[in-house]
Amino acid sequence: MRVRTILIAVFAMIFATELYAADKVRIGVSNYNISNLTVGVAQTRGFFKQEGIDAEIIRMNPNVATMALVSADVDYSTLIGSAIIANLKGARVKMIACSLDRTPLSLVSRADIKTVKEVKGKTIGVGSYGSTPDIIARMVVKHHGIDPETEIKLLALGSDAARLTALKEGVIDVMIVAPPVDFEAKRMGFNIISRAGDIFRFLYNGLAIGMKKLSERPDEVKRVLRAMLKANNYILKNRDGTIQVLVNWAKSKPEFAEAAYDSAVSSFSADGSIPEEGMRVVLDGFRKSMNLGRQVPLSEVADMAPLFEAQRELGLRK
């Protein structure tokens, strides 16, 4: 009887593992690059698999990714800027983690532009209007005394690669991009005139989710978060392995991957927490761009409960 009981327990554990392995999720990202490296590492280094998650990482335009999140065509999105805007417009989506708590974005200009002050009256290429890079570009020029509403022109161009092409062709004067495109542009003779992370510290990338999924699949959500926390721990501690992920997953040249890692590694969050002060900076930027007069409580756009559970289980929180 005892042997039979043990066998039943073993089969139950195997069955449960098979069920977990069947948890397929779709994650929307803007690019396979340093900004989305957390999910790239979680996938390629097996952290999703460890947590019983079969993740499909899909490259999507920010607006498309957010619409897909709202309609549940994707389960998660790393495009938190677009997700927050959707939330403020009434969509039932929330942010649940921060993977980068300092932006790795840089302003890169034509060779004849040497400082941010010279950007006045110029055209800056961003990914999409209302996205986090758009907001950060506005904040950087404002920090240098330029009115982002009247003294510059912003042009939405899509991917970092598209922005670099536009800069080379003279369509724009300045672009805001993530590593390694900034390094690549510098090699081509363009100037890095400001690194936003040297000026501001606030959340840049993370994970957003539909509230229906959040309420119906809390265990899956927690396991996805555990995988991402493990991935960030790997990024912070394993330079060579992470650079190899950038080479293989992000299709980056080795020298560009090394430059991207070294310039951005300090941006990765050790525990995924959403910094309240940084969140307030982002929300204030979005409120102004959307002409919202009311204050927005953090609980309206973020739910930290699943992250806290994942942190406790990994020993990151008591």
Residues 243-269 pLDDT 10s: 999 999 999 999 999 999 998 998 999
Task: List, in sequence order, every residue forming a beta bridge with 1; answer none if it has no partner.
Answer: none
Which DSSP state fits 302?
B
Tell me how far CA of residue 149 lies from CA of 102, 135, 146, 293, in angstroms: 24, 11, 9, 18
What are the φ/ψ torsions at residue 170 (nearest 5 degrees)? Answer: 80, 15
Per-residue pLDDT, averaged over 119-138, amounts to 90
Contacts of 267 (CB under 8 A, 6+ apart): 100, 101, 102, 103, 104, 197, 204
Say how far apart CA 309 and CA 118 lie, in whole Å.
48
What angle, rounded to 10 degrees, do the helices at 276-290 and 80-88 form?
60
CB 35 within 8 Å of CB 159 = no
Report for 4-13, 21-30, 73-82, 287-296: range of highest mean pLDDT:
73-82
User: If DSSP codes are grouped into helix, strand and coil, which group holds residue 314?
Assistant: coil
Longest dimension (CA), the chain: 83
Q: Tell me which H or E stretch contains 23.
A: strand 23-29
Which of 10-19, 129-138, 186-195, 222-231 has the weakest average pLDDT?
Answer: 10-19
Give the pLDDT score at 17. 46
CB 119 within 8 Å of CB 113 = yes
Q: Which residue has the higher pLDDT, 42 or 16?
A: 42
Give the pLDDT score at 290. 84
Query: Which residue pairs from 84-91 have beta carbons closer than 8 angstroms and sit at least 24 positions apart in sequence?
Result: 84/208, 84/282, 84/283, 84/286, 84/301, 85/130, 85/286, 85/290, 87/300, 87/301, 88/286, 88/287, 88/290, 88/292, 88/296, 88/301, 89/290, 91/66
User: If DSSP codes are grouped into helix, strand and coil, which group holds residue 123?
Assistant: strand
Residue 36 CB coordination number (10 Å): 24
CA atoms within 13 A on the CB side of 145: 4
Give the pLDDT score at 10. 47
Residues 61-79 pLDDT 10s: 888 888 999 999 999 999 9
Residue 111 has pLDDT above 70, yes or no: yes
Say how far apart CA 54 and CA 74 lie, in whole Å.
13
Residue carrying structure tokens 């460890």:
50
Q: Tell me which H or E stretch contains 310.
A: helix 305-313
Say how far apart CA 97 and CA 294 lie, in whole Å.
24
Token pair recorded at residue 130: 């209302």
Contacts of 6 (CB under 8 A, 6+ apart): none
**316 burial level (CB within 10 Å; 0-12, 13-18, 19+):** middle
Tell me how far CA of residue 18 lies from CA of 15, 26, 216, in angstroms: 5, 19, 20
